[in-house]
């Protein structure tokens, strides 16, 4: 794989591992609007399934400072692999 | 702006899912026509970077935060149809593995951040920046495109919430507009900085295929 791809992937992994722990934990724009106008409770208990790493944390590492970083690294790699696979599938059998 | 399960009623999330499914499959067809083998790892690394960058919420005024969506970054770099696939991939991973955005709202979240945002960014960017434009104009156009992508996506979000009866339009639209006008500034600055870096290290990495 080309050098610049590796560099940007490493930057992404570094952001997920080392910058995300410093992310602001305050509500985002939609959550803030939902709190201010009292419809946030409409989402409570409405999840239709349980994701393995809810809120970007590893449940078994819940108390660890590494929980978010590990989840971030896993997510970054998963995203890379899924997009790579999808794009490869799209071009398979394509006439050049 | 990830909508959780429970905010949208059935007719709204079903309709949003159908629109998104049709658009994403058309995007796959359009991307297939232009995608070269060289670009496959670029799309993948862009998706990975956007996933990571979306984890970093930055504080904005009054105890609220925002994070990069990345749709403008993807659309300016690869064109809107590839951006639809990149953003959908990120949103699917966030939903299925991290519970960020509800499963019933996945189609709606793709509609906001994976379809509306990249197309708005693409149109605004090309309104400002014609081929051969200078760097300062490119970055001003990038900022405007990114700001508009966040803002308009938030308006579509307000529309879906209003149609669902979750929050009335006269309240939802101004409230979403206020916060996302501010968060959009962060989107604009980060997108312009990242594109400045990408164009500096490797000009051909960006803009090579952005017409599509």
Interface subset of A 57-86, CB within 8 angstroms of B: 68, 71-72, 74-84, 86
How much is the mean pLDDT over chain B?
Answer: 94
Say yes or no: B187 contacts chain A, CB-CB below 8 A: no
pLDDT at B201 > cutoff 80: no
| Cα atoms in the Cβ-side hemisphere of radius 13 Å centred on B52 | 26
pLDDT at B164: 98
Q: Mean pLDDT check: name the lowest of B10-24, B98-112, B192-206.
A: B192-206
Task: Judge whether B3 lies within some domain.
Answer: no
Quick check: is B120 in a domain?
yes
The tens digit of pLDDT for each residue in B149-165 reads 999 999 999 999 999 99
- pLDDT of A30-42, one tens digit each? 999 999 999 999 9
User: Could you say which of A2, A76, A83 has the minimum Cβ distance to residue B52?
Assistant: A76
Q: Cα separation of B133 and B203, whole Å?
A: 14
Q: Computed over its alpha carbons, how large is the radius of gyration of chain A?
A: 18
B43: domain CATH number is 1.10.1760.20
pLDDT in tens, A18-68: 999 999 999 999 999 999 999 999 999 999 999 999 999 999 887 777 899
The count of domains in chain B is 1
Chain B environment of A48 (Cβ under 8 Å): 5, 102-104
Count CB atoms within 10 A of the CB of residue B200.
10
In a domain, B142, yes or no: yes
- The Cα B64–Cα B58 span in angstroms is 9
Note which residues in 76-115 of chain B have CB less than 8 A from chain A.
85-86, 89-90, 92-100, 102-104
- Residue A95 confidence class, pLDDT cut points 50, 70, 90: low
Integer-rounded Cα Rg, in Å, for chain B is 16
**Residue A25: partners with Cβ closer than 8 Å, 6 or more residues away:** B57, B65
B18-22: average pLDDT: 98
Would you call B63 an interface residue with chain A, using a CB distance cutoff of 8 Å? yes
A64-73, B70-79, B133-142, range with greatest mean pLDDT:
B70-79
Contact status of A2 with chain B (Cβ, < 8 Å) = yes
- The ipTM of this complex is 0.95
Q: Render the burial of B124-140: b for 16+ CB within 10 Å, e for the rest.
A: bbbeebeeeeeeeebbb
Indicate yes or no: CB of B32 within 8 angstroms of CB of A83: no
Closest C-alpha among A51, A57, A82, A52 to residue A69: A57
Domain housing B185: 10-56+67-205
Contact criterion met (CB below 8 Å) for B27 and A79: no
How far is B11 from B163, CA to CA, in rounded Å? 9
Q: What is the pLDDT of residue B114?
A: 98
The alpha carbon of residue B157 is apart from the nearest alpha carbon of chain A, in Å, by 9
Task: Give the number of other CB atoms < 10 A from CB of residue B170.
Answer: 9
Does residue B212 lie in a domain region? no
Whether B51 and A9 lie within 8 Å, measured CB to CB? no
What is the C-alpha to C-alpha distance for residues A17 and B21, in angstroms, rounded to an integer?
A: 32
In a domain, B78, yes or no: yes
Task: Quote the distance between the C-alpha of residue B9 and its chain's center.
Answer: 23
Domain ranges of chain A: 1-22+52-96
pLDDT of A4: 87
At residue A58, the pLDDT reads 93
| Residue B33 lies inside a defined structural domain of this protein | yes
pLDDT value at B210 more than 70: no
Bigger pLDDT: B9 vs B207: B9
Instruction: Give the sign of the dihedral formed by CA B193, CA B198, CA B199, CA B205.
Output: negative
* Contact yes or no for B93/B114 (Cβ under 8 A): no
Residues of chain B found within 8 Å of residue A22, distances taken between Cβ atoms: 56
Inter-CA distances, B78 with A43, B67, B129, B153, Å: 35, 21, 15, 19
Count of beta carbons in the 10 Å neighbourhood of residue B184: 27
């Amino acid at each position: 794989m080309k050098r610049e791809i590796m560099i940007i992937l490493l930057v992404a992994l570094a952001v997920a591992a080392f910058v995300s722990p410093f992310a602001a934990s305050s509500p985002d724009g939609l959550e803030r609007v939902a709190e201010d106008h009292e419809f946030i409770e409409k989402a409570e208990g409405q999840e239709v399934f349980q994701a393995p790493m809810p809120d970007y944390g590893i449940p078994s590492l819940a108390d660890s400072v590494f929980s978010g970083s590990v989840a971030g690294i896993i997510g970054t790699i998963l995203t890379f692999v899924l997009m790579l696979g999808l794009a490869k599938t799209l071009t398979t059998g394509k006439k050049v | 702006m990830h909508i959780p399960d429970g905010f949208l009623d059935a007719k709204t999330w079903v309709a949003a899912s159908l629109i998104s499914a049709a658009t994403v499959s058309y995007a796959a067809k359009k991307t297939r026509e232009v995608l070269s083998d060289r670009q496959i790892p670029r799309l993948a690394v862009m998706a990975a970077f956007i996933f990571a960058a979306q984890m970093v919420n930055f504080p904005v005024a009054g105890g609220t935060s925002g994070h990069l969506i990345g749709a403008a970054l993807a659309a300016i770099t690869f064109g809107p149809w590839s951006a639809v696939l990149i953003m959908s991939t990120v949103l699917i991973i966030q939903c299925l593995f991290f519970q960020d955005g509800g499963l019933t709202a996945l189609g709606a979240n793709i509609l906001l951040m994976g379809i509306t945002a990249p197309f708005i960014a693409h149109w605004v960017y090309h309104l400002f920046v014609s081929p051969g434009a200078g760097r300062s104009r490119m970055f001003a156009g990038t900022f405007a495109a990114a700001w508009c992508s966040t803002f308009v996506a938030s308006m579509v979000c307000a529309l879906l919430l209003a149609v669902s009866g979750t929050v009335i339009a006269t309240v939802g639209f101004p409230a979403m507009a206020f916060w996302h006008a501010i968060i959009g500034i962060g989107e604009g600055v980060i997108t312009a900085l990242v594109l400045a870096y990408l164009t500096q290290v490797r000009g051909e990495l960006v803009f090579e295929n952005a017409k599509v």
